[in-house]
A = this chain, B = another copy of it.
Amino acid sequence: MTNTQVTLVQIDNYGPWTVTPEPRREVDLQTLQSRLYADLSQLIGNRGGYVFFTRFDNMIAVTNGLDESDHAMIQESVGNRYPVTVSLSVATGTTPAHALADATDNLQDRGSAQDKDRREILCGRTIGEDHRTDEDVEIAHFDVIDATGEYTDRLSAFETFIEIEQGYATLMKEMHGEHDALSFFVGGDNVIAACPTLTEGAYLDAIDHVTEVAGVDLRVGVGSGKTAHEAGMDAKHALEEARASGDAVWFAE
């Protein structure tokens, strides 16, 4: 059974900052946000975690393998290099959705996202080294079948984007509502989901649902491991198997 450790990363009081003393250049905000995300990708990723950009001012990470001191270091490093600070709230649960709900609750209890006195909160508990197992994290890597031939090389770039986006909007909602999973668009035609332990049937249902509602055909590779990186790398290899075999769902080994 999975035991996902999820960290909510929230930029402190960011909305007001973006318009103080007057609205800041959008390209600078975009640069700031995407670089902060890139930095967190490296800081978290190089310890085996995954972080997703989500809304950029609120990012969600799967952090199995990172302890409190790792979190503290990441928070300090951001504070040392950016004009904004971040709060981090971590929680664990048998499903990623539950873990994130707890992490969010906990942070909300410390004050509003736009409370100017709430800065650099670091709260929650990580999983002790002794309680970690090889099945703590399940990652599903979804991919659109032949996106290049079906969309990119045929439609206008925005029409392609609409298709991918509607497929993602449908998938993320379904996977959350039905399976307590957290699904994130990661660029191109790819969606990575942090899932609880799910059956092949569950993945098939989700894929069928997206085909029906949004008309987009997906395949998925699934992996599990001690960290997001291990599970995710297995999922990528499983996806290659699915690509080769033509199956819609493939579980690593």
- Show the binding face of A for B, using Cβ within 8 Å: 8, 10, 14-15, 18-19, 22-35, 37-39, 41-46, 50-51, 53-58, 60, 73, 76-77, 79-83, 97, 100-101, 103-105, 108, 112-114, 148, 152-162, 164-166, 168-169, 172-173, 176, 182, 186-189, 192, 229, 232-233, 236-237, 239-240
Contacts and interface: CB of A to CB of B under 8 A. Distances in A.
Contact of A161 (B29, B55, B154, B237): B55
A81 B32 contact: yes
Contacts of A81: 28, 31-32, 35, 82-83
Contact residues of A: prevailing secondary structure: helix
B173 A158 contact: no
A37 B34 contact: yes
A197 to B, nearest CB: 19
Contacts of A39: 42
Contacts of A77: 25, 28, 42, 46
Contacts of A148: 15, 112-114
B152 A58 contact: yes
A8 to B, nearest CB: 5
Contacts of A168: 165
8 contacts: A15-B188, A19-B236, A26-B50, A26-B236, A39-B42, A43-B46, A80-B83, A113-B152
Contacts of A154: 108
Contact of A38 (B30, B46, B152): B30
Contacts of A113: 148, 152-153
A97 B30 contact: no
A164 B55 contact: yes
Given A27-B229, A80-B83, A97 B43 contact: no
A166 B164 contact: no
Contacts of A237: 22-23
A53 B236 CA distance: 23
Contacts of A108: 153-154
